Chain A
Amino acid sequence: MNDSQLAALREAAADGVTCDGLSATQDDSGYAFVTPEVSHDGLSEEEFDALATENPWFVSNWHFWRGTSETNEAFLRWVEHASELGVRERYETLVDGLTREWGQLLVTATLGTDGERSYELRHTADAATAVTGLDSYHDPREAREISTLDDDGRYRPLKTAPSLQAGWRFGDLDGRDLVRTVEFFYPATVANWYREQVGKLDVSHFRETAERQTGIYGVIDDLDVDSVENLAEACCVDSQCLKRREWDKDEETPLDAPRGDGEFPCREPCSLVVAAARQFAVLEGEETRTYEVELTPSERSQLTELVDAVADGRVDEIREADVGDGANRYRARYLRAKRLADGEFEGLREKR
């Protein structure tokens, strides 16, 4: 606490102050100062100042939250576990830092000067890395660049894909810049999470989103419930996106695909899902046919392994010489050399 925080509290007491167990008021009989541990009224200005000085955390805590927007306050209070910890306990713990995970972001709140807060943001994978081992940033806008490419330099069109690169930190952020940085990494997640907290998350289910589409996306309305189920399973699970899916086919038709364990909700199919849905709608427009092709049992199971490896993003993990894996490159090339000509399975016949 500093003198200007104390002066601000004294001034605000005339209108009444309540914050995290602190109550400060002023009327004709003098000042009142109440915390969970002390309660005095009829105080002179000097007595009020003395009590405040003995309880500096309550004063600086009130001062810190003053003027914070509703959404930011809710998020920042969540970061420092305010609903579980009283002011005194929180301040004691904030010395070492209180943390939360937000997708792949690790948010740490610590005590700043005069009881204010200071925030740090880094990748959860860098939780134990020394500060000197990370690239330091301070401007929230830098998050736009960091989040554009993954560790392998590939473009990340989906900001909440679990492929955020590690190795960086934003240090010494104030509350507003912390939220801005988080929202550059994961846009609109704080805003939607807050809406969910206050029971005002507006969910647009798949059907509603599909009906709204025009142009080349108009076709996604053709997908039946099974296809929407497959779509959600393909696109909207934790291995692909860290948002927690809150939308279903429609209000009456929940989907079985896991919703995800993320802190922040997904309130409607995103543009990537809509683009994928268009492709699937085109594919689903085809009738099935029966084909005959000659394969050994091992070759047949190799096809399954190939599909799985691509679907699970495992291709880059398969060791060069692991020829026991059906999706190994040499195995795939052997299959192609033996069974495929001009990119088609030789001897593949449509059964009529």
Chain B
Amino acid sequence: MPALVIVAHGSHLNPGSHDPTFTHADTVRAAGAFDEVREAFWKEEPSFREVLRTVESEEVYVVPLFVSEGYFTEEVIPRELRLEDWDVSLWDSDGTDADTATLTAADVDKTIHYCGPVGTHPAMSDVVVQRAESVTGDPDVGEGFGLAVVGHGTNRNENSAKAIHYHADRVREMDRFDEVNALFMDEEPEVDDVTDYFESEDVVVVPLFVADGYHTQEDIPEDMGLTDDYREGYETPTEVEGQRIWYAGAVGTEPLMADVLLERAADAGADVEEALDIVRKRTATPAAGD
């Protein structure tokens, strides 16, 4: 049976950074589609550099638990995994539609299916919506609500914003929320001015981040005016300039993320249909029948 390796950033400083990776890995493990499921990190161990030698399977699906395509998915991960003959053109992506490339790792005699990141998979849009359902406690949330998809944004990598716009566009096309906008921390339009961009009385704010940490727990709540000091906390929703802001925290902590990991592997040819059914049943919000 093949193995699934989930590669994520991890942290030297924040012990909670690896939590979503462990949680989603455990969900996939329990679904039984893979004999082995292993987590690997850029900043923790096992490192990208050594993870492939810790799995017994001859065939390995590698799925990056990253938000966007770019420096990590195109350069760092393939290099550190020693994926021979990797070239980003194998993904034939314009920044949001990477799929899979089958390669060999130089230090192990294994077939590696290197998949695009979870963050740019179409199914991720459903996770954004489910995050809105989770935070409002309403499986039918949409009417009368605005939805903000928030990204870090950076001038160094144009793909970073593409992923955010991609999901904002897709959720907008679902015609479920009254308004949908992409907002950013470090570029225009900025999340600081969230109320300027929405007319709806209720706005759900979903940061497209893998783990909760400094940005999602400190920066964004303070920037949006939910609280003056993150340590004092805030209510959900919090009223800001006459609008109710439902702040969702990192989308990566949403249980349905495990589904996207499996979707990535399925797109690369893994036989995970049964596991997908199990995971969807376990991770869906109970009343979400849409």
- Residues of A that sit less than 8 Å from B by CB: 69, 71, 141, 144, 148-149, 155, 157-160, 183, 186-188, 190-192, 195, 202, 204, 212, 214-215, 267-268, 270-272, 275
Name the B residues within 8 Å of A141 (CB-CB). Answer: 22, 26
Asked if residues B50 and A157 are in contact (CB atoms below 8 Å), the reply is no
Contact B47 A155 (CB under 8 A): no
Choice from A69, A212, A275 contacting B12 with Cβ under 8 Å: A275
Encode contact with A along B1-19: 1 for CB under 8 Å, 0 otherwise: 0000000000111110010
Let me know if A212 and B79 touch, CB within 8 A: yes
Cβ contacts A to B, 14 pairs, < 8 Å: A71-B56, A144-B18, A144-B22, A148-B15, A148-B18, A157-B13, A157-B43, A159-B45, A187-B47, A192-B53, A270-B47, A271-B42, A271-B43, A275-B12
Q: Which of A144, A158, A187 contacts B54 (CB 8 A)?
A: A187
Residues of chain B at interface, number, CB under 8 A: 25
Q: Is the CB of A191 within 8 A of B14?
A: no
Q: Which residues of B contact A (CB under 8 A)?
A: 11-15, 18, 22, 26, 42-47, 49-51, 53-54, 56, 71, 75-76, 79, 107
Chain B residues with CB below 8 A from A149, complex form: 15
State the CA gap A144–B49 with chains docked (Å): 19
Flag if A191 contacts B12 (CB, 8 Å).
no
Contact (Cβ within 8 A) A69 B56: yes
* Residues on B with beta carbons closer than 8 Å to the beta carbon of A69: 56
Q: Choose one: B49, B53, B56; the contact of A268 (CB below 8 Å).
A: B49
Identity of the chain B residue whose Cβ is nearest the Cβ of A200 in the assembled complex: B107
Partner of A159, one of B13, B44, B49: B44
Given the complex, which residues of A lie within 8 Å of B75, measured CB to CB?
214
Quick one: closest B residue to A186, CB to CB?
Answer: B45
> Which chain B residue lies CB-closest to A147?
B45
A239 and B13 CA atoms in complex are apart in Å by 20
Contact B54 A215 (CB under 8 A): no
A214, B47: Cβ atoms closer than 8 Å: no
A272 to chain B, nearest CB (A): 6
Residue ID in chain A nearest B79 by CB atoms: A212
Contact B54 A191 (CB under 8 A): yes
Quick check: B12 and A271 within 8 Å, CB to CB? yes
Interchain CB contact under 8 A, A271 and B54: no
Give, as a whole number of angstroms, the nearest-CB distance from A266 to chain B.
Answer: 10
Closest to B50 in A: A188
Whole-angstrom distance between the alpha carbons of A270 and B10 in the complex? 14
> Which residues of the partner chain B approach A186 to less than 8 Å between Cβ atoms?
45
Enumerate chain A residues within 8 angstroms of B50, measured Cβ to Cβ.
187-188, 191-192, 267
